[in-house]
């Protein structure tokens, strides 16, 4: 996983991070799933709860309209699995400059089916 610097919840670049550190500001360093991680893994392998970069979400959507797009929740339009005979879709929640991978959820839902941990 890659690392990003956060200042007040916002992602900051290397130069910005250096300036903030020099000014005595505290930055959080968090793990984030990147497109390079996906390419190295050979398949999408982020776990529910992982932060992911914008390029991962864009690659996941691959230009297709989302299945669901409301209140900072995006679902890919292509189902990836079935749960109780119903399709589930990769679902992401916007968190400022990053995305939180929720997992595979039913259409329009923003939580996992009860016994569905990932797929």
State how many domains the chain has: 2
pTM as predicted: 0.79
Q: Is there a single domain that holds both residue 16 and residue 58? A: no
Residues 75 and 24 grouped into a single domain: no
From the CB of residue 9, how many other CB atoms can be counted at a distance below 10 Å? 10
pLDDT, position 119: 45
pLDDT of 63: 67
Burial pattern 59-98, b for ≥16 Cβ within 10 A else e, equals ebbeeeebbbeeeebbbbeebeeebeeeebbbbbeeeeeb
- Domain containing 13 equals 1-32
In the chain the first and final C-alpha atoms are separated, in Å, by 20
pLDDT for position 22: 94
pLDDT of residue 115: 55
- 21-38 tens-digit pLDDT: 999 999 998 899 999 999
Q: What is the pLDDT of residue 116?
A: 45
Distance, CA of 46 to CA of 72 (rounded, Å): 19
CA distance 119 to 112: 10
Strands (E), 23-85: 28-32, 51-52, 68-70, 73-75, 81-83
**What gap in Å lies between CA 54 and CA 115, rounded to an integer?**
28
Segments in the chain below pLDDT 70: 63, 115-119
Pair 55, 4 in one domain:
no
């Amino acid at each position: 996983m890659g690392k990003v610097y956060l200042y007040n919840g916002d992602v900051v670049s290397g130069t910005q991070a250096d300036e903030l550190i020099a000014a005595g500001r505290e930055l959080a360093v968090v793990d984030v799933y990147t497109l390079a991680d996906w390419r190295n893994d050979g398949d999408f392998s982020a776990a529910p709860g992982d932060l992911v970069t914008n390029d991962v979400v864009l690659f996941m959507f691959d230009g297709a309209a989302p299945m669901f797009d409301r209140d900072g929740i995006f679902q890919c339009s292509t189902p990836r699995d079935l749960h109780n005979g119903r399709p589930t879709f990769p679902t992401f929640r916007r968190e400022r400059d990053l995305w939180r991978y929720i997992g595979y959820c039913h259409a329009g839902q923003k939580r996992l089916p009860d016994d569905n941990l990932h797929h």
